[in-house]
Amino acid sequence: MTKLKESLFSSGKLVAVNDKSYKLTENHLFKTPSGASALVSGRSTNGWIEWKNESGETLDSVYR
């Protein structure tokens, strides 16, 4: 577990949803979309394609 994940868990800002994913209980600013996606999914991810808006559009298609 990363230091950030440990810190967020101990402060109650991050909770387990199931064995493989997590949920933030309050806002937290990440340096990259991939860092945020990896933290909540529990695996290495490309946040530019993992995060989607209500219409199903990826960050990559909207902001790049």
**pLDDT tens string 6-54:** 999 999 999 999 988 889 999 999 999 999 999 888 889 999 999 999 9
Q: Rounded to two decimals, what is the model's pTM? A: 0.74
| Residue 58 banded pLDDT, cuts 50, 70, 90 | very high
pLDDT at res. 50: 96
pLDDT at res. 36: 93
State residue 59 phi and psi, 5-degree precision.
-55, -40
Q: How would you label 16-47 residue by residue, b for 16+ Cβ within 10 Å and e otherwise? A: eeeeeebeeeeeeeeeebbebbbbbebeebeb
